[in-house]
Amino acid sequence: MEIIKHEGPGRLGLVKIKEKTFKTPALAGVDFTLSPFNSYFYPKDFREYDFNLAPSIPLSFYTPREIIEKALNRLYEVDYSKFNALYVPVVRNLEYVDEFLENVLSQHSFDALYIGNAKIFVKDYRRFVQAIRIIREKDPNLLLVTDLEPFFYPLAVYLGIDAFDTRSLKLYDFHKKGFTQFSPILWDENTNSLEFARRTIKLVRKALKEGKLRYLVENFFSTQAHAGILRIADRENWDYLEKYTPVQKDTIYFISDASQNRPEVVRWRQRVVERFKPPENVEALFLFPCSAEKPYSHSRSHTLFRKALKEVLGDGVYKIHELILTSPFGVVPREWEWLAKYDIVVTGHWSEEEISSAAELLAKALEKYPKDVPVIAHLDEAYIEIARRASESSGREIIFTPVKNGTTSRESLEGLERTIKELDLEVVAGKEDRTYRFYENIRKVFDFYFGLGAGEAVLPDDARIIGSKMLRILIGNQQTGTYQDGVISVTPVGMQRIYEATKSYYVKIDFDLRGDVFAVGVNEADKKIRPDDIVGVVRDEKVVGVGRAVLSGEEMVKAKRGVAVKVRKRA
């Protein structure tokens, strides 16, 4: 299997088997053929199928340890050389699943793994996620097949399943039971379960292609198992989801409580803590609420806030800093507002989880500012509670402006101006502060994508910026990158500087770069790389090309087939 595109562990793939080629997610019995279960006690060689299951023992999910151990010892003796698919009996004691795969996969090669007992252990939410994670991460090129009802397809694909066995669907038709995405079982005399499976898998493929799979998952909550499994995945296995999730480029729609802990949200909060550093010339920090319009600075409310600041401080605005409080991201530095592309249900009601997570992140952000920098909050409603909690936990005093009838009312804006005047802030900024802040706005975006120090590497003080909308960054006569409204690009020269400064986002090879980099040619890759990240292709410590990652950094090293990096520019 060759991976084409990721959204979380879910992936669009291309499988070439014998003379057949098909795309995943797929259906066994529709897109490819799969042999019947092959009993260890009566083994057969089903050569007429695309995937020929190796002999196995049908252990149930609740099989006792002593029986599992006896069965595994027998399975280790099987001659797997004639089979291209391995049946994996998932048992409650998942350490045996891990042991079985380690033993067999270290000695034998397969094209697919069939995950057994899925309809049973899907009811054990935690083990369902853990089992798929254990199996998925063994080999990126293995096709994962299992048997689940069609209403589980979006969630199962999101977690890493590639194909589904449709043979059991005939039983539902026989009993006149049909499916809809809204209800797990619908009694109907005119049922066609296979047709529903076809429609569902087509929808999943389209969602994956358009980067909307997670949105589809949250719209397919037809059983309590869906909610439980996704909650366990988000809260206890967020690192598994995050490392396969591309950094957002389009607007994310947060439609329910299930959206609060999406991997994109957790990643954002991490990067605020790890990759954001305030400008060095900050003499005052202002906290503002978010707005429905993005970027915030284009909204009516933030236009009024910034007008009030300019009215009192003049050019001193180049020596203040702004943090925007929001849900579910928590805190958005002004320099990152172009990167915070999201839409959320706005009702004025905040959950305790939203308030506490935002307050925790704000407290960590406040610790980044010098103690003598005053913090002024122009907030209302739940935003005030967020700031108060952050003040208590960080030990930083926060000055609240008087707000009446909303933060944009005339009285409130006058209160903001009056508070600034009463603080008697002597904020004097010159041309060098304006230039420094202009550079910092760009540097912070590079830091977001590549880590602290990347912005300074691409755009040092002696660099030049030319252009109006699309800004070109040059050091001497060499271009290091471009910037436009939060969208960046990097040249091989710029990537070399980032690599030397941060030792990150690299893919190491030992051959002459002529085109794309295939996974089989990757010697080493930065584990921080996510699908669709900009990466530098490095040979002998020199960046020889820049491209977009197709796989995560870990996958690049494990995979043996497919493109790892689509190269855009060569040095």
The CATH number of the domain holding residue 479 is 3.10.450.90
Residues 389, 477 share a domain: no
Residues 240, 135 share a domain: yes
Q: Which residues contact 293 (CB under 8 A, 6 or more apart)?
A: 299, 300
Residues 538, 402 share a domain: no
User: 386: which 2 tokens?
Assistant: 């967020």
User: 568: which 2 tokens?
Assistant: 């855009």
Residues 348, 478 share a domain: no
Q: Say whether pLDDT at 189 is over 70.
A: no
Strand partners, 342: 252
Residues 190, 143 share a domain: yes
Residues 56, 184 share a domain: yes
User: 194: which 2 tokens?
Assistant: 């296979």
Question: What DSSP designation does 79 have?
Answer: -
Domain residues for the domain of 567 are: 505-571
425 in a structural domain: no
Q: Say whether pLDDT at 3 is over 90.
A: yes
249 in a structural domain: no
Given 499, 517, 550, which residue is the final one in a domain? 499
pLDDT of the residue at 266:
95
pLDDT of the residue at 180:
74
Given 499, 529, 554, which residue is the final one in a domain? 499
Question: What DSSP designation does 259 have?
Answer: G
Residues 453, 526 share a domain: no
340 in a structural domain: yes
pLDDT of the residue at 244:
97
Q: pLDDT tens, 79-108?
A: 999 999 999 999 999 999 999 999 999 999
As for how many domains the chain has, the answer is 4
Residue 509: give its domain's CATH number: 2.30.130.10
48 in a structural domain: yes
Residues 125, 63 share a domain: yes
| pLDDT confidence tier of residue 183, bands split at 50, 70 and 90 | low
422 in a structural domain: no
Q: pLDDT tens, 199-228?
A: 999 999 999 999 999 999 998 887 899 999
Is the pTM here over 0.75, yes or no? Answer: yes
569 in a structural domain: yes
375 in a structural domain: yes
Residue 115: give its domain's CATH number: 3.20.20.105
Tell the residue number behind the tokens 């002529």, with chain if given. Answer: 514
368 in a structural domain: yes
Q: pLDDT tens, 226-268?
A: 999 999 999 999 999 999 999 988 888 888 888 889 999 999 9
Residues 124, 157 share a domain: yes
Q: Supply the mean pLDDT for the chain.
A: 94
Residues 113, 44 share a domain: yes
Strand pairing category for 563-570 and 542-549: antiparallel
Cis peptide before 246 (omega within 30 of 0): no
Residues 474, 411 share a domain: no
Average of pLDDT values for 482-493?
Answer: 97
Residues 204, 71 share a domain: yes
pLDDT of the residue at 125:
97
Tell the residue number behind the tokens 């001193």, with chain if given. Answer: 316
Given 390, 417, 444, which residue is the final one in a domain? 417
**What values do phi and psi take at 297, rounded to 5?**
-65, -15
pLDDT of the residue at 179:
79
